[in-house]
């Protein structure tokens, strides 16, 4: 029996879901990509061993960013580019979370809300870093958007990875004086204020959802947003560049659920693993109806072309080259080594722990491409 997978869940419960629910915007493209990934629908090539003649079909990947089968190569390529940008300083990990009362707005206008979220977090971090009370310089940080929690419910938050220090106008690298980056409670209040101001701008420009259209509804929403402190979580500082890159890889190209977490699908339900909870301290298994599982997964389809990983300060595209060079000069460290492009075979050897081209049957022969496999187009 084939292992459980997201594509298998879509194939099994997809007809029932489509009979009861419309696909969200962008969902049809994601749906088709996940079902076609590494199947004859996308074509591929036939490989044969030059020793024993053993043959295998290798089908193309869909390369969709929501597909759990297609993220390893993209993540490794992204991290390879980031290796030349990491500074030899401790890094701090902060998480900025939107309250769940905003979930209806996210559902109605996801692109607008995500843009306000990025703008609010980046402005908050930049403002604190540039303040003479804290660092008094330009920071270097990256933001990664996540929209889910372990049960696939909507939980919109941004992970911020911030270099421990800032570059002043005099070319000096200033480090945090108190062992932590910024006070979390102050971050939370400034973040909340900037986000609510961003919502007000959306409403004034007519880009807000119906929940903000009427003045009475807007005032009720504002009161609920100011009723509680917002969650800004700061984790312990990370170590040097190797630890930072290892940590980055856990967040940058993660999708709402991986195939490894899906245990099985039978009896009209999907069983999947979730992280250890505060009560038992152990991983456990959740069970959802198949249609509800698909509905929750599709909550996290991003707007077309939306960038969920962004860089700011010294890492912003406009100033990255000069900013990082100035930071390295201030830290008295040499420039990075020239970029090395890794071959597919070397990548598979390192990540998959096997030699992709060696035949598993005879152990000595090597696979060679002998024929192309054209895509099998589905009927209209």
Do the Cβ atoms of 64 and 30 come closer than 8 Å? yes
> Is 354 part of any domain?
no
Query: Percent of the chain, pLDDT > 70?
Result: 91
pLDDT above 70 (res 339): no
Q: Which long-range contacts (CB under 8 A, 24 or more apart) does 128-132 make?
A: 128/182, 128/186, 128/187, 128/190, 129/166, 129/182, 129/313, 130/166
Task: Tell me what the mean pLDDT of segment 352-370 comes to.
Answer: 79
> Is 7 part of any domain?
no
289: number of Cβ within 10 Å: 15
What's the count of helices (H) and strands (E) in the chain, helices before strands?
Answer: 11, 13
Cα three-residue angle 305-308-312, rounded to 5 degrees: 115
341: number of Cβ within 10 Å: 7
Tokens of 258: 């991986």
Beta strands in 36-138 (DSSP E): 44-49, 55-59, 91-97
> Is 131 part of any domain?
yes
Q: What is the pLDDT of residue 341?
A: 52
> Is 30 part of any domain?
no
DSSP designation for 65: T
In 3D space, the residue among 131, 141, 223 whose CA is nearest the CA of residue 177 turns out to be 131
> Is 100 part of any domain?
yes
pLDDT in tens, 263-299: 998 889 999 999 866 555 677 899 999 999 999 999 9
In 3D space, the residue among 176, 243, 212, 20 whose CA is nearest the CA of residue 101 turns out to be 212
Q: What is the pLDDT of residue 355?
A: 61
pLDDT in tens, 113-166: 999 999 999 999 999 999 999 999 999 999 999 999 999 999 999 999 999 999
Beta bridge partners of residue 309, listed in sequence order: 144
> Is 49 part of any domain?
no
Per the structure, the count of domains in the chain is: 1
Q: What is d(CA 352, CA 166) in angstroms, rounded to the nearest whole number? A: 38
pLDDT above 70 (res 376): yes
For 311, the domain range is: 71-256+300-331
The CATH code of the domain that includes 217 is 3.40.1310
> Is 344 part of any domain?
no
Beta bridge partners of residue 269, listed in sequence order: 266, 289
312-339 CB burial, b ≥16 within 10 A, e <16: bbbbeeeeeeebbebbbebeeeeeeeee
Q: What is the pLDDT of residue 350?
A: 52
pLDDT in tens, 80-117: 778 888 898 888 999 999 999 999 999 999 999 999 99
> Is 209 part of any domain?
yes
Query: Percent of the chain, pLDDT > 90?
Result: 64
């Amino acid at each position: 029996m084939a292992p459980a997978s997201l594509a298998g869940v879509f194939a099994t419960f997809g007809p029932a879901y489509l009979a009861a629910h419309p696909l969200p915007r962008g969902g049809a493209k994601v749906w088709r990509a996940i079902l076609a990934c590494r199947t004859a629908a996308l074509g591929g090539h036939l490989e044969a061993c030059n020793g024993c003649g053993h043959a295998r079909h290798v089908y193309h990947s869909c390369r969709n960013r929501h597909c759990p089968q297609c993220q390893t190569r993209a993540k490794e390529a992204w991290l390879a580019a980031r290796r030349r940008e990491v500074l030899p300083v401790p890094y701090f990990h902060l998480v900025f979370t939107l309250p769940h009362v905003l979930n209806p707005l996210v559902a109605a206008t996801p692109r607008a809300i995500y843009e306000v979220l990025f703008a609010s977090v980046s402005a908050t971090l930049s403002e604190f870093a540039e303040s003479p009370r804290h660092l008094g310089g330009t920071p270097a940080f990256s933001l990664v958007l996540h929209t889910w929690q372990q049960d696939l419910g909507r939980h919109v938050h941004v992970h911020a990875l911030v270099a421990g220090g800032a570059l002043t106008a005099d070319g000096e690298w200033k480090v945090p004086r108190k062992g932590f980056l910024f006070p979390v409670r102050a971050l939370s209040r400034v973040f909340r204020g900037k986000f609510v101001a961003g919502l007000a701008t959306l409403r004034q420009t007519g880009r807000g959802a119906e929940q903000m259209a009427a003045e009475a509804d807007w005032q009720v929403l504002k009161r609920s947003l100011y009723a509680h402190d917002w969650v800004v979580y700061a984790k312990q500082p990370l170590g040097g560049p190797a630890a930072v890159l290892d940590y980055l890889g856990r967040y940058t190209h993660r999708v709402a659920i991986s195939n490894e977490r899906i245990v099985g699908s039978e009896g009209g339900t999907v069983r999947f693993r979730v992280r250890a909870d505060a009560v038992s301290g152990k991983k456990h298994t959740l069970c959802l109806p198949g249609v509800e599982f698909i509905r929750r997964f599709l909550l996290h389809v991003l707007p077309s072309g939306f960038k969920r990983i962004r860089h700011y300060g010294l890492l912003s595209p406009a100033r990255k080259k000069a900013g990082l060079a100035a930071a390295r000069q201030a830290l008295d460290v040499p420039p990075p080594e020239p970029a090395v492009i890794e071959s597919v075979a070397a990548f598979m050897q390192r990540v998959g722990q096997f030699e992709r081209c060696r035949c598993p049957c005879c152990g000595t022969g090597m696979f060679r491409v002998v024929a192309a496999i054209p895509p099998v187009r589905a009927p209209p």
